Amino acid sequence: MARPVATAAQRAAQRQRIRDAARHVYDEGGIDAVTVRRVAEQAGLAQGTIYKYFRNHIDLVRSLWLGPIQVAGDVIEKIAASVDDPAQRLRAILTFYRDFVIENPDVHRGVLLHVRRPGDLEPDPQPLDELPLYRTLRTTLVDLHDAGRLVSGEPDRVAELLWAAMHGSLGLAVNADIYEVTPSAQLSGQMLDFLLDAVVTTGGSTPLSE
């Protein structure tokens, strides 16, 4: 007799059970302890069951911080919709991203700085426009370009460059902690000012400085 197909509610409950087990493993041993084997043992499930709900180890790890990431995306969208001046909007978006990363170190390390291990499946690349951060940056840069206030470059690429620069300034103190690098909060704040000075012309009615 065929096994009955799980309902959507049952699948959601099982997925949450796995995520709860992964969170327990993470709380006890950190990010490196979160393996499919350890999580399966904690949840009392076969390893194969984990793969029915998560594509791979990275998918499982990232699911731990899905909630905060979604909330952050919603806030970014609201910021973008509430600030009319594109230069000030750009500062507001990047400032929120910076503050979010600094205030959520687990999300930073677990999602934004997490590197696939050798042998892990490569993810299917998703369109950048699905990310609120990139999407709002690009739209804001288009507005700056149309107003003649973007120094140079195509908005699509400049949006990536801004993201990459902020990402690097926030992660340097984590990835290069054996050196006396500037603390993330200070370095990323200076990087933000540097980027705005480099990207936005001084023209216009609203100054960039706070």
Listed residue (142, 147, 133) closest to 95, CA to CA: 133
Length of the chain in terms of residues written:
210
Cβ pair 26, 64 in contact under 8 A: yes
Kindly state whether residues 24 and 71 are assigned to the same domain.
no
Stretch 34-58: mean pLDDT:
89
Query: For residue range 75-87, what is the model confidence (pLDDT) as tens digits?
Result: 999 999 999 999 9
Higher local confidence (pLDDT), 51 or 61? 51
Stretch 110-134: mean pLDDT:
74
- Number of domains forming the structure of the chain: 2
To the nearest whole number, what is the mean pLDDT of the chain? 86
Using CB atoms within 10 Å of the CB of residue 209, give its burial: 0 to 12 exposed, 13 to 18 middle, 19+ buried.
Answer: exposed
Q: What is the CATH number of the domain that holds 113?
A: 1.10.357
Residue that is last in its domain, among 63, 88, 108? 63
Kindly state whether residues 75 and 169 are assigned to the same domain.
yes
**CB crowding 114-144: b at 16 or more within 10 Å, else e:** eeeeeeeeeeeeeeeeebbbbbbbbbbbbbb
pLDDT at 114 over 90: no
pLDDT at 136 over 60: yes
Kindly state whether residues 87 and 13 are assigned to the same domain.
no
Output the pLDDT for position 210. 43
Output the pLDDT for position 23. 86
pTM to 2 decimal places: 0.77
